[in-house]
Amino acid sequence: MKKTKRSKKIVEVVDVINKFYTIEQAVDFLKKCPKTKFDESLEISLHLGVDPKKSDQQVRGTVNLPHGSGKNVKVLVFAKPDKAKEALDAGADYAGADEYLEKVKNGWIEFNAVISTPDMMREVGKLGKILGPRSLMPTPKAGNVTMDVAKAVKEIKAGKVEFKVDKNGVINVIFGKISFDTNNLLDNLKTLLNAIIKSKPQTSKGNYFKSLCISSTMGPGIRIDLQTLSISQ
């Protein structure tokens, strides 16, 4: 395959085939890659030493990134009129009950996060086939099934992100934008990794982190030397 000018320049910056790097080096290299016409997201791809098929080895949680994710998150809140108003006043993009249940049933998915009050979950649960595959189903563990909808909306808007292991034992989640200051990106990244560490199942044996790769939307995937991480496994 013929390499583009951009890919040739990336090869000059970083060796993604033969080398492993520290997270500091990885973020620095990604920021040095040729710029695109948009503000790229930075993402981790973390392979964990867990068996997702076992219910006691599920890894899922949320974390407030200290410098936000940089992502413009559209929040949908399922709630009855009084709580729906609270959600809208707090910055939710959409809030309501029957009208939004019906819209989602009919295929509308113009949102990135979902919050629900407990009394709405019986109906929201019926949307599992639509919300579940997109990791949008509210759960108490993730903090998005709550009566304090205003707080939940503000946290998501401020940079709260959710992480969840997939069927292959991998977590993919963004931790900022390429335009962020390097130190802010590293703060976000370390906060995220530590949150995942704290979510380690007690039944998980051996190395919890098996491999870690950091990438940007249009950039290379840079492999991280796990021995250099200043976190405890």
Mean pLDDT, the chain, whole residue set: 91
pLDDT in tens, 114-134: 999 999 999 999 999 999 998
Question: What integer pLDDT is reported at residue 48 of this predicted model?
Answer: 97
Length of the chain in residues, anyone? 233
Domains 5-68+161-228 and 75-157 share a fold: no
What residues in the chain have per-residue pLDDT under 50? 1-2, 232-233
- The domain locations on the chain are 5-68+161-228, 75-157
CATH number of 5-68+161-228: 3.30.190.20
Residue whose token pair is 């976000």: 188
Tens digit of pLDDT for each residue in 204-230? 888 999 999 999 998 899 999 999 987
Residues in contact with 225: Cβ distance below 8 Å, sequence separation at least 6, in sequence order: 20, 21, 22
Secondary structure E strands in 83-156: 94-96, 113-116
At 160 the three-state DSSP class reads strand
Terminal CA-CA length for the chain: 40
Distance of CA 18 to the CA centre of its chain: 28
Give the residue among 231, 198, 191 at the shortest CA–CA distance from 63.
191
Q: What topology does CATH give the domain 75-157?
A: Rossmann fold (3.40.50)
Token pair 């990135």 is found at: 112
